[in-house]
Every structure is written in C-alpha cells, then in structure tokens.
Amino acid sequence: MSYLPQDVVDAIMSIGPVEWGATDAQSDEKHIADFANTLRLTREHFATEGNAALHGIYIAGSNTVVAHTGTSPNSPQHARILAGAWNCLVDAAKQLQGATA
C-alpha cells in the first residue's frame, strides 16, 4: 500500500467507516433549504462566522463537482482523503482496463 501522511491516517481513523447515502427526492428549493440548514448547523457547531469556502472534489481540470465535503475546518482534509481514494481507484481501473485490452 502507498504511504499515507500521518495527518491523513489520523483523520481517517477519527471518522471510521462511512457509507453511501441520499436524501429523499425533492425540489431544488427544498435541497437548498436543507443545505442552508446544514451550513447553519456547521457554523454553530464550529463557532465560525462570516464567509467560508465550500470544499469538495472536482473532476480534474474542471469545475464539475463530484462531491462537496462542506465548510467545516475538517472539510479540506476530508476532500483530500476522498480525492486520494478516488485517484487510487482510477489507477486500479486503468490497470484492470489494460489487462482486459
């Protein structure tokens, strides 16, 4: 396995296993209202105020969002972890694709 920086190991272990999830099907307006509430809860939990960056992972070289990780102080690290995991999967897929070509 590749080397992982200790801060990444610590962040992964502090979270533990994750799973896929989804909201109920709803309108854009309802999604926006729910997301605004999530942002409010994050601000309150981390006692932050004002503008915050919204972190996430994007298709390389584009502004196309794959996933948002949020606005908390932990969000940049979570995006780094997800991007690293995704890119490991891309490398594995390339190897498999080459093996079947």
Q: What is the largest CA-CA distance in the chain?
A: 53
- C-alpha–C-alpha distance, residues 101 and 85, integer Å: 24
CA angle 66, 72, 78 (to 5 degrees): 45
| pLDDT of 1 | 52
Confidence class for position 2, pLDDT limits 50, 70, 90: low
Burial class (CB in 10 A: 0-12, 13-18, 19+), 83: middle
Which residues lie across from 57 on neighbouring strands?
A: 67
- C-alpha–C-alpha distance, residues 90 and 54, integer Å: 24
pLDDT at 101 exceeding the cut of 70: no
pLDDT at 3 exceeding the cut of 80: no
To the question of pTM greater than 0.95 for the whole model, the response is no
Token readout for 5 is: 């920086």
| pLDDT of 4 | 79
pLDDT at 78 exceeding the cut of 60: yes
| pLDDT, tens only, 20-66 | 999 999 999 999 999 999 999 999 999 999 999 999 999 999 999 99
